[in-house]
């Protein structure tokens, strides 16, 4: 299925947000996620299904000052 990941179309076989994060190579322990504009806590990702056309944001922390 196709989803939008960080503004770009991505083809995925993942059925959950946790599976998508892992499949795309993100470090699940240090990223924040949102599904269709709603924040999803790390502990909820494994039980959060994704569907075709979903908009997913995966944000990594940035350093700087």
For the chain, what are the domain ranges?
2-59
Please report which helix (H) or strand (E) contains residue 23, including its range.
helix 17-23
DSSP state of 7: T
Reported pTM: 0.92
Write out pLDDT tens, residues 32-62: 999 999 999 999 999 999 999 999 999 988 7
Q: Which ranges of 1-65 does DSSP label H, i.e. alpha helix?
A: 17-23
CA distance 50 to 30: 20
- The fourth-level CATH superfamily of domain 2-59 is Beta-grasp domain (3.10.20.30)
Predicted confidence at residue 63, as pLDDT, reads 66
Question: Residues of the chain with pLDDT > 90: what percent?
Answer: 91
The C-alpha angle 39, 56, 33, rounded to 5 degrees, equals: 35
């Amino acid at each position: 299925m196709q989803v939008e990941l960080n503004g770009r179309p991505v083809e995925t076989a993942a059925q959950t947000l946790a599976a998508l994060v892992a499949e795309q190579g993100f470090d699940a322990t240090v990223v924040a996620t949102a599904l269709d504009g709603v924040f999803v806590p790390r502990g909820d990702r494994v039980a959060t299904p994704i569907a075709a056309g979903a908009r997913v944001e995966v944000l990594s922390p940035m350093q700087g000052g």
